[in-house]
Amino acid sequence: MKLERSERILEIVNQKKKVEVSDLAKLLMVSKVTIRKDLKNLEAHGLLKREHGFAIINNPDNLNYRLAQNYPEKLRIAKMAASLVKDQDTIMIESGATCALLAEELGKQGKKITIITVSYFITNHVAKYSNLSLIVLGGQYQVSSQVVVGPLVKTSLRGFHVEKLFVGTDGFDPQIGFFGDNLMRTETVRNMAQQAQQIIILTDSEKFKKPSLIQQFSFDEVDQVITDNQITSYAQEVLKNNQVKLSIV
């Protein structure tokens, strides 16, 4: 399946919520047989559902739903992040859709990487890749986000130190920095950051439009941001003035 067509299918399904296979075939000028193969592939990756001749958006409560939102941008961000990771590296990955795509990209590239994470979603998402060694930290399990949080995570982190920590973010304030939307998850991310030399934020440009609940990182704590080309010139200037390396895909 061509990547460009899969991206277009996801865009259409996410916009319309439910689309007939025949309509997708007409819009993309391919046969229904081809579309069915594409949809089977996308469903296997958890990016949508199929039902009686229709392609249907995932349940918004499902983490795969977030994975499918702005998928092309997230995938480009993940690919650039993967280029920063060398064979035999040990890295930390927090949680979130783009971080999951980063882990998957490393698996596809065949690099032998050790990933330390708090995300059971990411662990399950890339478990099939034998080149990835996965270390899942222990703690209080949050069902909705499929991550572990709390003091046990902080305790288990003390035995690790890595060069790079890859994290997502939920919001941005030009005066303060980056924000999270959950108190315990944000605290866990900050604990992970204490064990890493570099903090690299992976986020689509939508997150630069407003802050969220609780401050995650100040500008001087962040080494690099990787985002898509819809980031505003104002946000770019703020990052530049605060000496945060910005990579745009």
For strands 177-180 and 171-173, give the pairing: antiparallel
Find where tokens 């990182």 sit.
217
Q: Please list the ranges in the chain whose pLDDT falls under 70.
A: 1-3, 59-62
pTM: 0.83
Distance, C-alpha 95 to centroid of its chain: 7
Q: According to CATH, what is the number of the domain 70-248? A: 3.40.50.1360
Burial of 219 (0-12, 13-18, 19+ CB in 10 A): middle
Find where tokens 């407003």 sit.
210
* Strand, helix or coil for residue 90: strand
Predicted local confidence at residue 229, as pLDDT: 95
Residue 93 in contact with residue 115, Cβ under 8 Å? yes
Q: How far is the first Cα of the chain from the last one, in angstroms, to the nearest whole number?
A: 22
Structure tokens at 62: 């499902």
Domain boundaries, the chain: 3-62, 70-248
Question: What are the backbone dihedrals phi and psi of residue 235, each rounded to the nearest 5 degrees, phi first?
Answer: -60, -40
Predicted local confidence at residue 244, as pLDDT: 98
Dist. CA 177–CA 169, nearest whole Å: 10
Dist. CA 165–CA 183, nearest whole Å: 19
Dist. CA 28–CA 140, nearest whole Å: 45
- For 158-196, what is each residue's pLDDT tens digit? 889 999 999 999 999 999 999 999 999 999 999 999 999
Residue 210, CA atoms < 13 Å, CB-side half-sphere:
3
- For 75-101, what is each residue's pLDDT tens digit? 999 999 999 999 999 999 999 899 999
Q: CATH fold of 3-62, please?
A: Arc Repressor Mutant, subunit A (1.10.10)
What does each C-alpha distance from 129 to 28, 35, 102, 133, 248 come to in angstroms? 32, 27, 13, 9, 28
Dist. CA 86–CA 84, nearest whole Å: 7
**CA geometry: angle 57, 63, 67, nearest 5 deg:** 70
Structure tokens at 12: 């259409």
Structure tokens at 115: 């990933």
DSSP helix, strand, coil percent of the chain (3-state; round to 5): 45, 25, 30
Find where tokens 């941008």 sit.
73
